[in-house]
Structure 1
Amino acid sequence: MNTLGRSGVEVSPLSFGAAAIGNLFTEVSDEDAYAAVEAAWDAGIRYFDTAPHYGLGLSERRLGAALASRDPSSYTLSTKAGRLLVPTGERGGDDLDNGFAVPATHRRVWDFSADGIRRSLEDSLTRLGLDRVDIVYLHDPDDHGEQAFREGYPALERLRAEGVVRAIGAGMNQAGMLTRFVRDTDVDVVLCAGRYTLLDQSALTELLPAAVKNGVSVVVGGAFNSGLLADPRAGSTYNYTAASGELLQRALRIKAIAEGHGITLRAAALAFCAAHPEVASVLVGTRTAAEVRDCANQFATHVPPAFWQELRDTDLLPADAPVPGEDTA
């Protein structure tokens, strides 16, 4: 287990991202969702992440139900704030325009005000069936930075001071604003999705050095860049859109080198994310028990040093990116 910043909150090195069990892109049955959480538990995963955004609350409801028999002190759970779910009164339609195969019973309303953050957390606790969560992240404040820093973040600080939550942070698909959170606030952790992978090391420029300097932990999501680093082929997605030909060829080159060293591209992608000393956990979105078990097995795979050296020799990995087993002191 790794500790987040100065919070005392512990997370497992591999964590369960619950967006997929909120019917991300396609429907997942209740049975498959619960089996995925159970498989994560059996694999030793003790950190679970969700958000109201995921399936208009479905992810939170399912995750809460799946963990209901567990002692809350035996695992770490995070959710997010910044989007309130407001009932639409509609019976028809779906939420696929927002990426989730669920009925459009609610609409999302951006709200990073102090009141909005508290209301969001209260609603999340109701859906989760819990009286507390360990971590709350400001969720995707990209276009709402002023309100997030002026009102949303101070609200999280107050919740932490009151003991309502144990750790606070921000979760985004970019490194720039997360760097500002690390430098200008007292967050314990940031969740950076897709910006520290075998295909994109932009978080290495400023975010990760700032995290090291300020004692802030980083949780890395999007290790597979939404699919391209899991199974690179024609039609693969990168950051939730069709991958360019150039990126596909780069991923295929890394895959070929990995297979030449007797490992999978998935194992290499996960190992790379975990290797940076400030990365406390690698968050993987899985929708079935089989996917969970595969990720756990790949995460446990030893990646030989010769693989990393070949990536560097062929300019597929920058020399300053830490790799497993390398002394970064």
Structure 2
Amino acid sequence: MIDPQATVQIGDTGLRLPRIGLGTASLGNFLSPISDEDAAAVIARALGRGIRYLDTAPLYGHGLAEQRVRAAIAGIPRDELVISTKVGRLLREGAPRDDSQYFNGEPFYKDVPSAGPVWDFSENGIRQSVEESLRRVGVDRFDILLLHDPDEHFEQASTTAYKALSELRADGEVRAIGAGMNSTSVLTKLVRDCDLDVILLAGRYTLLDQSGMDELLPMCVRRTTSVVVGGVFNSGILIDPEPGTTFDYVPASAEVLDRARRIRGICARHDVPMAAAAVQFPLAHPQVCSVLLGPRSLDELDMDLGLLSVDIPSALWADLRAEGLLRPDAPCPEPQLPGSR
């Protein structure tokens, strides 16, 4: 059983990060809109169930997610929460269209405010982003600040943006700094070249895609950089791999769909929901400190949390390896021992 309130220390920062956190992209109208009330209800239920780590970003709903976090945490003592947000984009009226946030002409974020994201990895831009996020979330500080999606901005991210973050850390204005992305090459370079405490890796260390083990996770081990894993369901395919499901937020290819179905078949053989294996798998890696859940409804949240208590036999992981569906060097969770709860 995975205890959402169990914590792991992030490097030598003194910050302890809960093993399970709540990601808020879906609560910022990612793929489909939800109401302020429904978003607040999800966060409130998560807090009530023991979640104490919240991750957000200006991009998520163009400020909606951060504002909805603010409404949900009002009245909760700040020291009871770990909150991370991201930098590298400022929200501005008249922002140019960012094609990376569209698929087939449709935006990923629906019914959002008119101010859109503008890239800015300058020192002033980073500091301004933090100040604006502090106002939107309604807190006096963040515990973690992450460079957000600097795929095409490595030079600035590793120099001016990193300088701003490292100064904020040195001044005690933030406890840990890092970067968050869903690709590994630039993230590996940032871990190599910068003194990062933690990274958020989305979708690249899952049951379906363990490419994070090629270079990134070994680099994190060498640099003692902690890893938060997001996107454990690869945007849905590791819950229900049926035609039309998505992988990396776009329709899954036939090859990916077939691989997910093979994983599902082995899980079914052991009477284990594939989604449970997907949630629990990343936490076995010694460098992974936390997994983010990303529910958009109370039902999804309850389902996600229920997956944490599913006992998974070691034979399931062995079968996945034998079928070539899991890397032989990927650490796997130990089975629950009788009476250990």
Pairwise same-fold verdict (TM > 0.5) = yes
Q: Aligned partners of 1:69, 1:76: CA distance in 2, in Å?
A: 15
Please give the per-residue CA displacement for 1:109-144, whole angstroms capped at 9, x wherever unaligned: 100000000000000001011111100000000001
Residues 141, 172 of structure 1: 8 Å contact kept: yes
Q: Equivalent of 1:293, from 290, 299, 302?
A: 302
Partner of 1:238: 247
Q: Aligned partners of 2:323, 2:73: CA distance in 1, in Å?
A: 45
Q: Aligned partners of 1:8, 1:295: CA distance in 2, in Å?
A: 29
Residues 14, 299 of structure 1: 8 Å contact kept: no
Partner of 2:149: 140
**Which SS does the other structure have where 1:171 is aligned?**
strand
Partner of 1:39: 45
* % same residue: 48
Partner of 1:13: 19
1:198 aligns with 2:198: no
1:74-223 → structure 2 map (5 Å cutoff)? 74-88=80-94, 97-223=106-232
Partner of 1:259: 268
Q: Aligned partners of 1:184, 1:242: CA distance in 2, in Å?
A: 35
- List, as ranges, runs of 4+ consecutive aligned residues in structure 1 with deviation greater than 6 Å: none
Deviation at 1:300, TM superposition (A): 2.4
**Which SS does the other structure have where 2:27 is aligned?**
helix
Partner of 1:72: 78
TM-score (norm 1): 0.95
TM-score (norm 2): 0.91
The AA in structure 2 aligned to 1:32 is D
Specify every segment of 5 or more residues in structure 1 that has no aligned partner in the other structure, as ranges. 90-94
Partner of 1:56: 62
Q: Aligned partners of 1:31, 1:302: CA distance in 2, in Å?
A: 34
Please give the per-residue CA displacement for 1:92-124, whole angstroms capped at 9, x wherever unaligned: xxx974411124511211000000000000000
Q: Aligned partners of 2:13, 2:311: CA distance in 1, in Å?
A: 30
Q: Aligned partners of 2:161, 2:271: CA distance in 1, in Å?
A: 47
The RMSD of aligned alpha carbons is: 1.4
The AA in structure 1 aligned to 2:41 is A
**Which SS does the other structure have where 1:311 is aligned?**
helix
Partner of 1:92: none
Q: Aligned partners of 1:274, 1:43: CA distance in 2, in Å?
A: 19
Residues 61, 113 of structure 2: 8 Å contact kept: no
Residues 14, 296 of structure 1: 8 Å contact kept: no
**Which SS does the other structure have where 1:133 is aligned?**
coil
Please give the per-residue CA displacement for 1:27-80, whole angstroms capped at 9, x wherever unaligned: 111221111111211222111000000001000000111011211100100000
